[in-house]
């Protein structure tokens, strides 16, 4: 099978997986904040939300390596084989971190992995974003501007994800209070507010994914 077509298929699949499961996450969140539902029902909706949220978390670390690999195949990204291996290894390490965080049963370990994952993302945004901006000004390693713009778009998606993570961290104590039947009115208010505060970032991710797809298909740029 042609390697480029395989990479292209996987890249498109990651886009579809990311957007589709992100919409599933949003839909489940509407039930999480519904005070008319019982605590167990809302807890089930939260588990569905977290399950759907694994989709974007898997797609995010893999979408850049596949895109860069396709760019090398087309001669639009100047990177040698060792550099490409490093890009894939970093993507797979990030994926391993994401999966370990999701499936870990230890709250202590989960807390450490959460902090690590939170700080890995700004580093990735700084490095990838800096390289993309540099190559837009001086296209030495990324020949096609649309690839640099796609990388900047992915950086924006990562930042949106950080915004969502920030608000959900405040949401968690309120949800625990609601489940324990403590300060129900205040807990429900915080739960709804923090979920609503996530919406601009959610819409930003959807728009960013569509922009990235349009850049890849040369509809824009």
Dihedrals φ, ψ of 142, to 5°? -115, 105
- At residue 200, the 3 state secondary structure works out as helix
Question: Closest Cα partner for 218 from 155, 133, 144, 157?
Answer: 144
Residues near 60 by Cβ (< 8 Å), separated by ≥ 6?
18, 94, 98, 154, 157, 158, 161
Residue 178 pLDDT exceeds 80: yes
Q: Quick: pLDDT tens for 120-156.
A: 999 999 999 999 999 999 999 999 999 999 999 999 9
Helices (H), the chain: 3-32, 39-74, 81-103, 107-137, 145-180, 184-216
Residues near 25 by Cβ (< 8 Å), separated by ≥ 6?
49, 52, 53, 55, 56, 202
Q: Which residue has the tokens 């993570």?
A: 165
Q: CA 24 to CA 19: how far, in whole Å?
A: 9
- At residue 120, the 3 state secondary structure works out as helix
DSSP state letter for 182: S
Instruction: Evaluate if pTM is beyond 0.85.
Output: yes
Q: Quick: pLDDT tens for 42-91.
A: 999 999 999 999 999 999 999 999 999 999 999 999 999 999 999 999 99
Dihedrals φ, ψ of 4, to 5°? -65, -45
How high is the pLDDT of residue 1? 60
Find out whether 44 and 29 touch, Cβ atoms under 8 Å. no
């Amino acid at each position: 099978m042609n390697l480029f077509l395989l990479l292209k298929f996987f890249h498109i699949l990651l886009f579809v997986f990311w957007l589709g499961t992100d919409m599933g996450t949003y839909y489940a969140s509407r039930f999480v904040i519904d005070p008319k539902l019982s605590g167990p029902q809302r807890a089930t909706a939260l588990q569905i939300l977290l399950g759907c949220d694994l989709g974007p978390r898997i797609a995010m670390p893999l979408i850049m390596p596949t895109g860069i690999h396709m760019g090398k195949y087309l001669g639009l990204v100047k990177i040698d084989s060792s550099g490409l291996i490093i890009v894939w290894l970093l993507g797979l390490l990030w994926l391993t971190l994401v999966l370990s965080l999701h499936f870990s049963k230890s709250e202590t370990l989960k807390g450490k992995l959460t902090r690590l994952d939170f700080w890995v993302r700004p580093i990735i945004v700084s490095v990838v974003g800096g390289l993309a901006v540099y190559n837009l000004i001086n296209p030495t390693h990324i020949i096609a501007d649309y690839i640099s713009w796609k990388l900047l778009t992915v950086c924006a998606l990562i930042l949106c994800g950080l915004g969502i993570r920030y608000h959900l961290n405040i949401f968690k104590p309120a949800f625990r209070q609601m489940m324990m039947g403590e300060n129900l009115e205040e807990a429900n208010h915080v739960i709804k507010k923090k979920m609503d505060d996530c919406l601009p970032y959610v819409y930003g991710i959807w728009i960013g994914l569509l922009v990235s797809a349009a850049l890849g298909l040369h509809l824009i740029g």
